[in-house]
Amino acid sequence: MRFRSLVLGALAVLVAAVAAGCGGGGGGDRLTKEEYIAQADAICKTANEELDALAEPTSMEEIASLAGSAIAIQEDALAKLRELQPPEADQATLDEALDLVDQQVEIGRQVAEAAKAADQAKIEELIAQIDPLNTQADQIATDYGLVECGKS
């Protein structure tokens, strides 16, 4: 079913969004770039595995539920990623990726609401908005050297 594929594709994009949003902002000592990459990729790997384990939706109701579960996983991963302190010189670049991820998570919330309303056209419109944000965030993560956090 084309619609189901679109929704699953959007959720996969949201998984990548979390992975790409590997900025820092919390307290603590700054990490070296290598330490940051190792810790961020570990967080992203766990989030990716949790998202991959979610059941494939077969109805609008299940899509809404799946989107809610995916957003909860993403928000948890983002909170952990924000606690990491990248090298100061890299902070602005990684903050840019986080901003892109935040935008994608917000669109994910809108996808869940559209699914609750059984509004397929709105879901497709929202999915189209996620793709360019994901591409940018993935590029930042990959350019920085992240592996798990740069997967689509």
- In the chain, domain spans: 2-22+31-147
**CATH placement of domain 2-22+31-147:** 1.20.120
pLDDT for position 107: 94
pLDDT over 60 (residue 26): no
State pLDDT tens for residues 55-99. Answer: 888 888 898 999 899 999 999 999 999 999 999 999 999 999 988
**Band of residue 39 on the pLDDT scale cut at 50, 70, 90:** very high
Give the CA distances from residue 24 to residues 40, 95, 101, 109, in Å, rounded to whole numbers and listed in that order: 10, 7, 13, 23
SS3 30: coil
Q: What percent of the chain has pLDDT over 70?
A: 81
More confident residue, 82 or 26: 82
pLDDT for position 151: 79
How would you class 16 by CB atoms within 10 Å of its CB: exposed for 0-12, middle for 13-18, buried for 19 or more? buried
pLDDT for position 145: 95
What pTM was estimated for this model as a whole? 0.78
Q: How far apart are CA 56 and CA 108, in angstroms?
A: 16
pLDDT for position 22: 43
